[in-house]
Amino acid sequence: MRFVSLAVAALVTIGLIFLFNTRQVLPAPLGRLLSPQHGIWQNAEPADQSFSEELKFASLKGKVEVYIDEKLVPHVFAENDEDLYFVQGFLHAKFRLWQMEFQTHAAAGRLSEILGEGPGGRILEYDRNMRRLGMVYAAERSLNEMEKTPASKLIYDAYAEGVNAYISQLTESQLPIEYKLLGYYPEKWTPFKTALFLKYMSFDLAGREDDLEFTNARDNFSKSDFEKLFYYLADSLKPIVPNTPESPYPAMASIDLNPPLTADSLYFSYKKGDSLTYADTNKPNRENGSNNWAVAGSRTKSGRPILCNDPHLGLNLPSLWFEMQLSTPEFSSYGASFPGSPNIIIGFNENIAWGVTNAGRDVKDYFDIEFQDEQKTAYKYNGQWMPTEKRVEILKVKGQPDRLDTVVYTNYGPVMFDDAFRAKERDTRHLSVRWKAHDPSNEGLTFYGLNRAKGYEDYLAAIKHFTCPGQNFVFASRTGDIAIWQQGQFPAKWKRQGDFIMPGIDSSFEWKGMIAQEENPHQLNPARGYVSSANQLSADGSYPYYTGNVFPVYRGYMINRMLDSAGPVGPEEMMKMQCDNYNIRAELSRDILMSTKDSLLDDASRKYFEIYRKWDNRNDVGSEGATVYHLWWGALEKAVWEDEYDKIGLPLPWPTENVLVESLHRDSAYSFLDNVNTPGVETLEQLLASSLRTATDSLEKLSAAGKLSWEKAKDTHINHLLRVIEPFSRLHLPVGGGKGIINATGPDHGPSWRMVVHMTDGIEAYGIYPGGQSGNPGSRYYDNFVDDWAAGKYNQLWLMKKEEKGDARVKWTMTFANTK
């Protein structure tokens, strides 16, 4: 009997430990997670936590002092570069380790390894997409390139060593909470992971194209319909760099830009009825973009330039950005850094400031490949069978056996689509990707140079290393220069080259070369007293090279209009301008909507028409007119185009934001107005009324739910990177703005860092990002900038001098020294 009770008690004990230590029975190992000495409680940071520490590491050459201010921004003072980047790596890891690793797992297509295959296999599909695109291949090539430059190798190695110094002294209890919740451990950091992270940014900023969709559009629309929907130059385009005598475009291309002789038959073959069914759900957000501008001293109150930048990216917690200052006796630079990469990415030093917006040029094209046979060991190229290379991608999936995926490489790049990853349901297409991000490059040199730049020449020398993702680098100096360069290595294309899938059996459709760097659009100290960019086309039609098809126009239009008419400005006006909610398309389309015939409306729609009529075209918090306009215009676009699109029934690109306004202004009897499914011919008058009635249904629902005001209808939120953990996210933020507006805050996307730098002696700068310095959801510094960011407030950015270490803003001090 005693044995039986003992056995029962022992079994229950072991059973309970098993129950609370594994995920076999309960979804979470509650014992491990809730143990106050090991689990999540250890991540609950005391509100009065001290960040002061004295640390010793064998690999440090000298002493490094880190002064941490009240915002938890570290100001790092090192004696040399090696120590500086060691400490930057250490600090990134200390505050953002989980995110750093998660992002590189995302880049490398390794998310299934920690998250499983996901609902409907979505995460595995995402991973395969990244592998087949050659993300790992691209990172390997850029790592090789980077290691050829000893200075770069030293930095990346020191940075990795700093990250690892942090990881190796981590105990289980100090693990970031996400590791505990998901049940895995951090790997060692390597320079390869930094390369992966930078490639992830290339993917995010230069990895989006709609070439497959445009191919469908070409195959199913007539040429004239295609040109109506996807014309190349917007009427409201204000190019980043206008063609003026002070900054003329190259008169002609220095590379032969004649399309191949076969282009008419093989490429511009409209309406032949072919179809690709693949719809890529893993594309980077179309709205990834940014604003930047610099105002010359001639237009400012102080006589010194002011530089402004706000990159628009997916909004997440922990934030993509980490604010810090890096200093050695040679330089001192402050700004937003990427956890995962050395250097300051957007910021300033005591002499210059710089910022970036995305160039958005299409540097990713597809080529149709003809293989010799099923083995895919050779493909046809210029009349010969060329050998292929194969890469076997091993995909680890949590809780499942490994998957193997063979990716074939041609001289174009990886064959992303084949019979194992289909672009088409019925027969197989072999599509090889030619992507600029696959070419070896060392972008880190640009940031290294900018951090230390003293003037325009240094800036120019630094940005020349930047090849992909193409960016508009804005610049201002204390000595009064302002400039902008669209920088990157861009293929010299003939008009519409690469917009569609190209024949790959010979070299005739290949990129013929890269545009020479000095031919990139640029401006230095223009007479108008400012430079600006907001992802619009960099140049107008007189630029000899084709620069691509899908670009937003309205933010650039509005920025230039405001700067054209601005009086002498100071930082306050610039901060206000970055948060401006004026909807320029609403202004440009007002005459169209106002022509709605009252007699065609019912009582409910009449009420909303009245709200719209009184609206001031501003997407401010509290505005109901903005919601009416947004839904009405959306319904009108659908009423105009959806009938044609549904009839084709394939993934197709939707026309850009400016197309309907401009088309209706050009021609009020726009041919797409007719609904192809009805016997009659619809007119604009009918569509205006019917689309308002459609919008009214949604508006009534919003109104009943108390969500008619714009910020509630838009519902901006900042999700935790894992997307599924709501309590770690910030939801329902009261923020105005939106697409096509300078304050480009969408539902989950927008200004991820706002910065205004006044180039006074000592630098007067302001900035904020929607997050907090700590990546720990249990820290009060996790999201403490969010409310101020939402309210359009800024923090002063302090370019600290070492002598100021006694300043009241310094709350904690970390020292790093050699073990000796």
Partner 1 sequence: MKLFISIVLTAFLGFALCLFLPWWAIAIAAFTVAVAIVQAPWKSFVTGFVALFLLWAVMAWWISFTNNNLLADKVSVMILKQQSAFMLVLVTGLIGGLVAGFAALTGSLVRKL
Compute the distance between CA of residue 811 and CA of residue 68 in angstroms, rounded to an integer: 6
SS3 421: strand
Give the residue with the Cβ less far from partner 1, 2 or 272.
2
Closest separation between CB of residue 185 and partner 1, Å? 14
Q: What letter would DSSP give residue 25?
A: S
* Closest distance of CB 43 from partner 1, Å: 6
Q: Give the DSSP letter string of 438-484.
A: GS---THHHHHHHHH--SHHHHHHHHTT--SS-EEEEEEETTS-EEE
Nearest one of 230, 314, 313, 215 to 269, comparing CA atoms:
215
> Looking at beta carbons only, is 704 or 724 nearer to partner 1?
724
H/E stretch holding 535 reads none
Nearer Cβ to partner 1, position 114 or 353? 114
d(CA 637, CA 639): 5
Query: Which among 505, 549, 513, 435 is positioned nearest to 266, based on CA atoms?
Result: 505
The answer to whether 266 and 688 have CB atoms below 8 angstroms apart is: no
Strand extents, DSSP E, 596-743: 716-720, 730-733
Q: Is 797 left (phi over 0), alpha (psi -120 to 50) or beta?
A: beta
Which DSSP category does 745 fall into?
-
Total residues found in the chain within this entry:
820
How crowded is residue 567: how many other Cβ atoms within 10 Å of its Cβ?
A: 8
- 651: closest CA among 379, 249, 281, 196? 281
Taking Cα atoms as reference points, which of 438, 288, 458, 452 lies closest to residue 356?
288
| Contact criterion met (CB below 8 Å) for 306 and 756 | yes
Contact 438, 318 (CB under 8 A): no
Of the two residues 13 and 400, which places its CB atom closer to partner 1 in the complex? 13
Q: What angle do CA 9, 10, 14 make, to 5 degrees?
A: 120
Which residues are the active-site residues?
290
- Residue among 5 and 565 whose Cβ is closer to partner 1: 5
Q: For partner 1, which is the closer residue by CB, 43 or 202?
A: 43
> Phi and psi (nearest 5°) for 707?
-120, 35
Render the burial of 674-703: b for 16+ CB within 10 Å, e for the rest.
Answer: bbeeeeeebebebbbbbbbbbbbebbeebb
Helix, strand or coil for residue 563? helix
C-alpha dist (Å) from residue 665 to 347, 630, 681, 724: 42, 19, 19, 44
Spatial CA neighbour of 306 closest among 556, 478, 457: 478
> For residues 51 and 231, which CB has a smaller minimum distance to partner 1 in the complex?
51
621 DSSP 8-state letter: T
Binding residues for Ca(2+): 362, 365
Q: Which is nearer to partner 1, 173 or 372 (CB)?
A: 173
Residue 788 C-beta: closest distance to partner 1, Å: 18
Cβ atoms within 10 Å, residue 704: 9
**Closer residue to partner 1 (CB): 676 or 731:** 731
Residue with tokens 């996901």: 118
Closest contact distance (angstroms) between CB of 340 and partner 1 is 25
- Three-state DSSP state, 402: strand
Pairwise CA distance, residues 319 & 721, whole Å: 9
Helical axes 150-168 vs 191-206, angle rounded to 10°: 110
- Paired tokens of 520: 């990139």
Q: CB of residue 56 vs partner 1: minimum separation in angstroms? A: 23
DSSP 314: E
H or E stretch including 101? Answer: helix 81-107
Three-state DSSP state, 82 = helix
Give least dist CB 4 to partner 1, A: 10
Cα–Cα distance between 34 and 491 in angstroms, integer? Answer: 55
> What DSSP string runs through 477-532?
ETTS-EEEEEES--B---TTTTTS-EE-SSGGGS---B--GGGS-EEES-TTSEEE
Rounded to whole angstroms, the Cα distance separating 243 from 106 reads: 41
Q: State how beta strands 306-314 and 289-295 pair.
A: antiparallel
* Residue list, annotated binding site: 362, 365
Shortest reach from residue 42's CB to partner 1, in Å: 8
Instruction: Judge contact between 158 and 82, C-beta under 8 A.
Output: yes
Site residues, partner 1 (CB under 8 A): 2-3, 5-6, 9-10, 12-13, 16-17, 20-21, 28, 30-48, 172, 177, 725-728, 777-780
Residue 229 vs residues 183, 547, 573: alpha-carbon distances, Å: 50, 18, 38
Cβ–Cβ under 8 Å, residues 363 and 206:
yes
Question: Shortest gap between Cβ of 16 and partner 1 (angstroms)?
Answer: 5
Give whichever of 372 and 784 is closer to partner 1, judged by the CB atom: 784
Cβ proximity to partner 1: between 34 and 594 the closer is 34
Between 181 and 433, CB nearer to partner 1? 181
